[in-house]
Structure 1
Amino acid sequence: MADTMTTAPKTLDPAKPFDLDRLLRPRSIAIVGASPDPASIGGGVLANLELFKYLGDLHLVSRSRDEINGRACVKTITDLPKGVDVVILIVPQVAIKESVLACVERDVAGVIVYSSGFAEAGEEGRRQQDELAEICRKAGMAMLGPNCMGYTNYVDGIPLTFEPVDLRGVGERSRVAIVAQSGATAANIRFAMHSREIAVSYVIATGNEAVIAAEDLVGWLIEDKDNAVVAVYVEQVKNPQKFLAVARRARELGKPIVMLHPGSSERGKQAAQSHTGALAGDHALMQTAVRNEAVALVETTDELFDVTAILARYPSPPPGEAGIVTNSGAIRGLCFDFCERVGLPIATLSDEVHAELATQVPPYVHVDNPFDIGTTGFSNPGIFGTSTASMLKDPNVGIVFLSHAGGSPPMQIKKSDAIIPVAATATKPVILNIVGDDYPLDPTFMKAVRDSGIPFFRSPERAMRAMAVVMNYAAALAATKDRAPEGGRIATLPPSGLMVEYEGKRILTDLGIHIPKGALAKSADEAATIAADVGYPVVMKAQAAELAHKSDVGGVIVNIADEPALRAAHEKMYASIARHKPGLKLDGVLIEGMARQGLEMVVGAKRDPQWGPVVLVGLGGVWIEALADARLLPADISRERAIAEIRKLKASKLLGAFRGQPARDVEAIADVVVKLGALMRSEPQIVEVDINPLVVYGEGDGALALDALFVVQ
């Protein structure tokens, strides 16, 4: 295995690196708290190691026994030889620190701590966990846990977990590696893969991740050439920037990462905190960042199982849309509805493939996608394979779904005989579904399907939902080659805090984002001069860094028609602010021409301290809060991709010709998105930007930023 040394996250600043090879492929193991009872934790670990016939050095530590199962025991950790690769600490929580210190003294490479009662239990537990982590970091001793279930290494036959595990080989086919902060979820993923005859290389339950985190382990696992995909369940990513770097490396190696990360709801965040002591971050920002690095993000455990199974067989799916073949008109109709619901586009067939399919069915059969072959399979079973091959040829098709009624056992076997040879050579994913829920299928058919490795489903809905994720993953892979460059640096930025609107609009002007004509006036006379140059009617806005909500204190007056009205407004505004904000000194007032009406949008940006910058686009004014219609986009999004994302807004109909209004200039919105994203990437001290509203006009007429808020740190 290449490059097996990993370092802890930069924020931890370890004194020594951690050797994950010694932790996960140990040649010597000690069980502290060993027992002959396989129902106990210490006995369970020992029973697993004996079942797998572990060939390395195995040391047992027991205060009450001299031997267990014919193996000699020592009384304490200090009696162990120096340099043991892994010590499993099965001791009470209160004794963990003492045991860890003893392991440091014996030059142990790594420890596994099953015990709970640390960060997940509250602040005192978190303090104790941090203390353990600091000890391990200074010593360069890896720790898995606490509050974990350990791991099983199926490649080398090393089960360092107390749950009963089956003795299984890894075979010659592609393998799945599993990393989960939840031990139960790690086991569930393993069960799901094994039930589909998919080989599993490693199952690692990380628990609270005091020292070694999921991103460390994923980074180690992807370097193994035999791991095709890594399935990940995390409730918090401890070092987001390291995780994103690992995702980029996985992409270079062609190793998909499939991740389930709960916490989109408030109660989900709370559950994560109580389970592993995770400090929940902004879930939406996390999603945007990891999808931008082509991590296949799923929403349910079913999707985690199903997407992992598909990508284990087809780790590099091409972009495209779905081609569907069925022998049921009902399934064809349901596919239209469900594909739309889950966001799985159905491909428009090329003329060549349409013509080719037409030769495979009688003239009265309607050729379309989904392609319903009807009863043709009874007289010509070969059509199950030829129709699949034709769909695979279509340049618009990126994934093929075969959803069939199984029929009699002989018909099932004819289907597998026709389909499997085609799927075996396919570079595009081929997904097979035989409807009928849990109704038994012919054993010969099932064996052929499992042996072939073709992803197999009994539920068409589960299959299509997983296919949608796979196609999004394929699109994300392609999008990594289409990213906008960084912008230029801004000459000067004001000190930390809220920028005054006129200064923020100066930045927008430098970026090429249009703002209303106007200028800052420091007196009524200057205001009158600027208004005369701009042309009435005008708007007047009070300007001060401390005045974030100008309207609340009478700091905005619109539709000022002439100079007398302007002078009266100037006097009224200063009096209102003096009344609401005594002692506040204004920089002046911003005089701008009144903008003509258009569609109000909002474009903003935010820098997350963990995940980095993102850009937001949505309906502006009060609608963004009322309808929650906005999309978070990566800061390096290209213009073409930004246009596509803007058209996915729920209110996207308003962007087209609608009730007498012209189609809006979506390209102008995209330009603002790309420019703000470039700014956020080139100016790390800018932490937040809010252009609300951005008034968008008809196609070709551009957009105008009426207000701008910048926060600098």
Structure 2
Amino acid sequence: MQPDFMTDADAPALARLLEPASIAIVGISPDPRSLGGTVLGNLERFGYRGDIYLVSRSNAEVRGRRCVASVDALPPGIDVAVLTVPEAAVLDTVTALGARGTGAAVVFASGYAEAGPDGQARQDALAAAARRAGIALAGPNCMGFTNFRAGIPLTFESVEPHAASLGSTAPGVSIVAQSGAMANNIREAMIGRGLPIVHSASTGNEAVLGLEDYIEYFIADRHTRVIAVYAEQIRRPLRFLELAGRARAAGKPIVVAMIGRSARAREAAQSHTGALTGDYATAAALLGAEAVVVAPTMDELFDVIPLLLRHPQPSPAGPAFVTGSGAMKNVALDLAQDLGLELPTLAPATVAALKAVLPDYAVAENPLDYTTASMRDPSLLGTVVDIVAADPNCGSLVVAQMGGSELGQRDKARYMVPAVAHAEKPAALAIMGDDGPLYPVLTDAARASGVPFFRSPDRAMRAMALVNRYARALQQRRAVGSPATLPPMPAARAAFPEGGVIAEYRGKAWLVQAGLATPAGALARDCDEALRIARGLGWPVVLKAQAAALPHKSDAGGVAVNLADEAALREAWARMHEDVARARPGLVLDGILVEKMGERGLELVVGARRDAQWGPVVVVGLGGIWIEALHDVRLLPADTDEAQVVRELAQLKAAALLAGVRGAPPVDVASVARTVVTVGALMRAMPEIREIDINPLVAYPQGALALDALIVCDA
């Protein structure tokens, strides 16, 4: 695992990288298209005012600037050196820079970890040399960075100054990406929206400095309000989560786009839960719980940033939707349902104010279709938006309208755009018609106002759904605060000193100590004992073969259900031993668990898995035979409280089953939530537990019963 390089005490080292007063370009060439030539051209184009030093073995000067022949000839204490030398020369150059007291280095060269084991060894050696020298090293295999606000472009991409960013005092966006192309992609999108950019950095292979180090710096940077991240691998997850908490406390949203949804999930570690918690799903769940905005697509990342830049502390209430089209009103209703967005009921005062200005046939509700009333009185566009924007029940606002004629667009520019801009909550203007023509009068007004502007109501609503999710996560973290003190828990290490997979009967006994309910039953070692247990329980009963080495009993014929009398039990007992012996020759059973046959109910799964990098994550969803077919589950952090579990259960595709369908009574959701919270508490209290899988947990109108349980501990 890569050790952390940056600490609070090391922050000045990163400042020397990102805001240097002196720069050396090592390996400069007169060719303006060379790496070094491009870096120098960028610095001159941006009007960099610090000291620039050039190192070249074969040139006495480049573009009228004197060169020195080696790093040893540089003055001591240069802030950052940009290495445009081949990989073979990088290690010696970094060592020499360390001897000169250089604070930071940018390494463009490739041929490191991305090239296989030998490249990884070269990268490890480079990282060690940089750490010994105290050099904050960016890269290798990176495109570098640009400090747009201060005008410092240390990248081999030819880049232009951005007028809205250079010297700006307005809060802006800082970008960090493990891909140079994606850093540029985000940057160009923000420039296209006229947003101020503070920093744009690519981290490459992250031999020393990683995403987390830049994020830490951006959190402390007074010019940064929103942090945009593109991640292919989060190498220090616990550090990332800790920084997410700091960003939340600082009121700075972090918006992340990650790859990995399509990657095959991790190999199941003896249970369904393991199969359901792949890297992406785990990361997205835990980051989202820490109020990191995880954008499913790059478009959604582009679209949510302008909203959060204007309103970094949004309300968790749902949006109001305003349009002049009855059809678009219906589209908005469908979109809201698909996105899990509640469209709040307008407050009585809002309804009264709308009725006073709209025709009698207009319905004052959310979504609002204000009809064609504005055709006669265009000022109504602004009046309606002002009224709805002030509604106390709505946490955000989406206004969707056609562009129309030049006169119509002029009216929107005069009345609608200012009203959206004045909204004291996240607000977006969507002008429908895709690539249909817009007149400068409207686009210029929207750009000048700073209103987040879309050509697609769908994109506007998806972005607002991310804002709403972020606001609810902020509210949840404020409600939870520090993790609650854990209740007394049964010691896993004392109960299972051998570790590994724990036989069901032992795992269930341990869960009962933690307060969970399981079917009445006992372990039998011969058929006569099984009969005595069954008579005490009452018919019908269930038989389950028990051994730590037999976690999936059904596959080996190790389960018999609904046994109604002694004859059925004797037959099942004999058949089970034969089937298990055939499927698993030589396996010695601990015995057979005899349990009271449970009543039918709604089968759910509750589980938890300890990710080696991210820590524990809890899963809850539709269980039984449906888990593999539907994968209808929600992933949650282990410190989730009952209220949050209830909210997550409502997001399941099968949520209607919880409320009862076709005459079935609703299930005891509170008992399910308590089970989830208990499982999370067990994972938090005992790091030796690797996995807990309760499938099914049968939920009833009163209570919930763990019919099967699998526990895996570290050996």
Q: Quick check: TM above 0.5? A: yes
Are the aligned partners of 2:490 and 2:514 in contact in 1 as well (CA < 8 Å)? no
* TM-score of the two chains, using structure 1 as the length reference: 0.92
Within 2, Cα distance between the matches of 1:195 and 1:573? 68
Within 2, Cα distance between the matches of 1:26 and 1:72? 20
Q: Does 1:587 align with 2:565?
A: no
Q: Does 1:542 align with 2:545?
A: yes
Are the aligned partners of 2:99 and 2:133 in contact in 1 as well (CA < 8 Å)? no
The 1:566/1:268 distance shift into structure 2, 3 A limit, reads closer
Per the TM alignment, residue 31 of structure 1 is displaced from its structure 2 partner at its CA by: 0.5
Listed as ranges, the matches of 1:228-627 within 5 Å are: 228-266=225-263, 282-483=279-480, 485=484, 486-491=486-491, 492-495=494-497, 496-563=499-566, 566=569, 569-570=572-573, 573-574=576-577, 577=580, 580-581=583-584, 583-627=586-630
Amino acid across the alignment from 1:608 = D
Query: Which sits farther off after the overlay, 75-84 or 85-94?
Result: 75-84
Per the TM alignment, residue 84 of structure 1 is displaced from its structure 2 partner at its CA by: 1.7
1:37 aligned to which of 31, 45, 61 = 31
Are the aligned partners of 1:490 and 1:683 in contact in 2 as well (CA < 8 Å)? no
Gaps of 5+ in 1: 1-7, 270-279
Q: Does 1:175 align with 2:172?
A: yes
Per the TM alignment, residue 92 of structure 1 is displaced from its structure 2 partner at its CA by: 1.3
Within 1, Cα distance between the matches of 2:545 and 2:337? 49
Give the paired residue count.
694
Amino acid across the alignment from 1:78 = D
The 1:137/1:332 distance shift into structure 2, 3 A limit, reads same
Residue 25 of structure 1 is matched in structure 2 by 19
Query: Which sits farther off after the overlay, 423-432 or 466-475?
Result: 423-432
Q: Does 1:709 align with 2:710?
A: yes
Q: Does 1:52 align with 2:46?
A: yes
* TM-score of the two chains, using structure 2 as the length reference: 0.91
Are the aligned partners of 2:53 and 2:74 in contact in 1 as well (CA < 8 Å)? yes
Within 1, Cα distance between the matches of 2:145 and 2:100? 23
Kindly provide the CA deviation profile for residues 161-181 of structure 1, in whole angstroms up to 9, marking residues without a partner as x. 121222232433221111111
Are the aligned partners of 2:150 and 2:167 in contact in 1 as well (CA < 8 Å)? no
Per the TM alignment, residue 122 of structure 1 is displaced from its structure 2 partner at its CA by: 2.2
Listed as ranges, the matches of 1:644-659 within 5 Å are: 644-659=647-662
Q: Does 1:638 align with 2:641?
A: yes
Are the aligned partners of 1:154 and 1:201 in contact in 2 as well (CA < 8 Å)? yes
Residue 140 of structure 2 is matched in structure 1 by 146
Residue 56 of structure 2 is matched in structure 1 by 62
Within 2, Cα distance between the matches of 1:482 and 1:646? 19
Amino acid across the alignment from 1:593 = K
Per the TM alignment, residue 212 of structure 1 is displaced from its structure 2 partner at its CA by: 0.5
Gaps of 5+ in 2: 267-276
Kindly provide the CA deviation profile for residues 500-547 of structure 1, in whole angstroms up to 9, marking residues without a partner as x. 212211222122221111123345454344333222332232322222
Listed as ranges, the matches of 1:179-218 within 5 Å are: 179-218=176-215
Are the aligned partners of 1:605 and 1:616 in contact in 2 as well (CA < 8 Å)? yes
Per the TM alignment, residue 144 of structure 1 is displaced from its structure 2 partner at its CA by: 0.7
The 1:525/1:404 distance shift into structure 2, 3 A limit, reads same
Within 1, Cα distance between the matches of 2:60 and 2:6? 41
Per the TM alignment, residue 234 of structure 1 is displaced from its structure 2 partner at its CA by: 0.9
Amino acid across the alignment from 1:682 = A
The 1:638/1:268 distance shift into structure 2, 3 A limit, reads closer
Within 1, Cα distance between the matches of 2:138 and 2:111? 15
Residue 218 of structure 2 is matched in structure 1 by 221
The 1:672/1:389 distance shift into structure 2, 3 A limit, reads same
Per the TM alignment, residue 592 of structure 1 is displaced from its structure 2 partner at its CA by: 1.4
Query: Which sits farther off after the overlay, 138-147 or 58-67?
Result: 138-147
Residue 5 of structure 1 is matched in structure 2 by none
Secondary structure (helix, strand or coil) at the match of 2:495 reads: coil
Within 1, Cα distance between the matches of 2:394 and 2:680? 32
Amino acid across the alignment from 1:156 = A
Within 1, Cα distance between the matches of 2:712 and 2:617? 14
Per the TM alignment, residue 317 of structure 1 is displaced from its structure 2 partner at its CA by: 1.2
Secondary structure (helix, strand or coil) at the match of 1:198 reads: coil
- The alignment yields a C-alpha RMSD, in angstroms, of 2.6
1:688 aligned to which of 691, 694, 709 = 691
Within 2, Cα distance between the matches of 1:431 and 1:162? 36
Within 2, Cα distance between the matches of 1:434 and 1:562? 71
The 1:349/1:37 distance shift into structure 2, 3 A limit, reads same
Report percent identity of matched pairs.
Answer: 49
Are the aligned partners of 1:553 and 1:576 in contact in 2 as well (CA < 8 Å)? yes
Per the TM alignment, residue 428 of structure 1 is displaced from its structure 2 partner at its CA by: 1.0
The 1:609/1:267 distance shift into structure 2, 3 A limit, reads closer
Kindly provide the CA deviation profile for residues 41-60 of structure 1, in whole angstroms up to 9, marking residues without a partner as x. 11000011111222222110
Per the TM alignment, residue 28 of structure 1 is displaced from its structure 2 partner at its CA by: 1.4
Residue 103 of structure 2 is matched in structure 1 by 109
Within 2, Cα distance between the matches of 1:690 and 1:506? 14
Within 2, Cα distance between the matches of 1:536 and 1:267? 44
Per the TM alignment, residue 583 of structure 1 is displaced from its structure 2 partner at its CA by: 4.9
Kindly provide the CA deviation profile for residues 64-94 of structure 1, in whole angstroms up to 9, marking residues without a partner as x. 1001122111112222222221111111122
Within 2, Cα distance between the matches of 1:442 and 1:568? 83
Within 1, Cα distance between the matches of 2:115 and 2:563? 61
Secondary structure (helix, strand or coil) at the match of 1:266 reads: coil
The 1:537/1:331 distance shift into structure 2, 3 A limit, reads closer
Per the TM alignment, residue 420 of structure 1 is displaced from its structure 2 partner at its CA by: 4.8
Per the TM alignment, residue 11 of structure 1 is displaced from its structure 2 partner at its CA by: 5.9
The 1:599/1:343 distance shift into structure 2, 3 A limit, reads closer
Listed as ranges, the matches of 1:53-92 within 5 Å are: 53-92=47-86
Are the aligned partners of 2:516 and 2:706 in contact in 1 as well (CA < 8 Å)? yes
Within 1, Cα distance between the matches of 2:387 and 2:304? 24
Secondary structure (helix, strand or coil) at the match of 2:395 reads: strand
Per the TM alignment, residue 418 of structure 1 is displaced from its structure 2 partner at its CA by: 3.0
Per the TM alignment, residue 414 of structure 1 is displaced from its structure 2 partner at its CA by: 3.6
Kindly provide the CA deviation profile for residues 669-713 of structure 1, in whole angstroms up to 9, marking residues without a partner as x. 22211211121112111111111111222x2x2221111100011
Query: Which sits farther off after the overlay, 331-340 or 438-447?
Result: 438-447
Within 1, Cα distance between the matches of 2:149 and 2:282? 36
Within 2, Cα distance between the matches of 1:565 and 1:180? 64
Query: Which sits farther off after the overlay, 93-102 or 576-585?
Result: 576-585
The 1:434/1:11 distance shift into structure 2, 3 A limit, reads closer
Amino acid across the alignment from 1:375 = T
1:130 aligned to which of 124, 133, 136 = 124
Per the TM alignment, residue 235 of structure 1 is displaced from its structure 2 partner at its CA by: 0.6
Per the TM alignment, residue 455 of structure 1 is displaced from its structure 2 partner at its CA by: 0.9
Within 2, Cα distance between the matches of 1:634 and 1:154? 37
Are the aligned partners of 2:421 and 2:427 in contact in 1 as well (CA < 8 Å)? no
Amino acid across the alignment from 2:666 = A
Within 1, Cα distance between the matches of 2:427 and 2:603? 44
Within 1, Cα distance between the matches of 2:336 and 2:555? 47
Per the TM alignment, residue 350 of structure 1 is displaced from its structure 2 partner at its CA by: 2.3
Are the aligned partners of 1:488 and 1:679 in contact in 2 as well (CA < 8 Å)? no
